[in-house]
Amino acid sequence: MWIGVVSLFPEMFEAVTRHGVTGRAVDQGRIALEFWNPRDFATDRHRTVDDRPYGGGPGMLMKVDTLRSAIHAARERAEVATGARAKVIYLSPQGRRLDQTGVQELASGPPLVVVAGRYEGIDERVVEADIDEEWSIGDYVLSGGELPAMVLIDAAARLVPGVLGHQDSAVEDSFNDGLLDCPHYTRPEEVDGRRVPEVLLSGHHGAIRRWRLKQSLGRTWLRRPDLLEGRTLSAEQRKLLEEFIEDYALATR
């Protein structure tokens, strides 16, 4: 997977290029991350990358010429590196909400150029001319697009074959099948009087699978019922969810 990043602060991305799952994936060559700083395309003495907005108001916007030059350079590099035209993504509160379905779309699609904005944003004409899609990680304001870009990169990288240590890890993640994850346990068997559920110690793979699915459905029903709205459950899933709801009602009387 190839991802180009346009950012005024590329050093922030050491969090994903040097550490954890994504860092290992970069080291192993499973994902390639390259960076373009609009400041490197500035031609004035002060290497200016911001400008005042027309109409006045507080704050500044990213300068059009330096930003576009960085985007174009990244897109050209993507074509050289991969032979495909990159999709240019802008992280913006106005964008489509990033969820697991969206992550899967991005991870399975063409190479990406991810634009991290700063200041009050970018000129709308840049959005119209150079941005293919806008994506948001939530309804709140951050100081720049670097953190949302890292969220997108980390989530997409997990879906690249070979990135995770176990082939089932990505499949069993929360949201991968539209449900929250089930509870997990490790040693010791007892912590402050709380024991690992017996089914997980039984070695009965069918029973363990059924328990995990039941807990996943139940946790989704309790914490994110919106994820179940409009979802068609299989006969097994309906039965397990009904069992969970009955168990929960008895436990909370």
Under DSSP, is residue 80 helix (H, G, I), strand (E, B) or coil? helix
Binding-site entries for S-adenosyl-L-methionine = 117, 137-142
Whether 161 sits among the annotated catalytic residues: the reply is no
Query: Among 242, 102, 111, which residue's Cα sits nearest to residue 175?
Result: 102
Are the C-beta atoms of residues 181 and 172 closer than 8 Å to each other? yes
107-110, long-range: CB < 8 A, 24+ apart: 107/1, 107/155, 107/156, 107/157, 107/159, 107/160, 108/159, 110/82, 110/84, 110/85, 110/86
Cα 107 to Cα 152: distance, rounded to the nearest angstrom: 10
Whether 173 sits among the annotated catalytic residues: the reply is yes
Cα 8 to Cα 185: distance, rounded to the nearest angstrom: 42
Whether 120 sits among the annotated catalytic residues: the reply is yes
Catalytic residue (one of 24, 40, 93, 224): 93
HSE-CB of 15 using CA atoms within 13 angstroms: 12
Catalytic residue (one of 27, 120, 177, 246): 120
CA distances to 46, 106, 200, 205 from 169, in Å: 48, 19, 18, 17
Whether 168 sits among the annotated catalytic residues: the reply is no
The token duo for 223 is 């914490």
Catalytic residue (one of 51, 105, 154, 173): 173
Are the C-beta atoms of residues 103 and 152 closer than 8 Å to each other? yes
Cα 22 to Cα 157: distance, rounded to the nearest angstrom: 6
Binding-site entries = 117, 137-142
Annotated catalytic sites, by residue? 93, 120, 158, 173
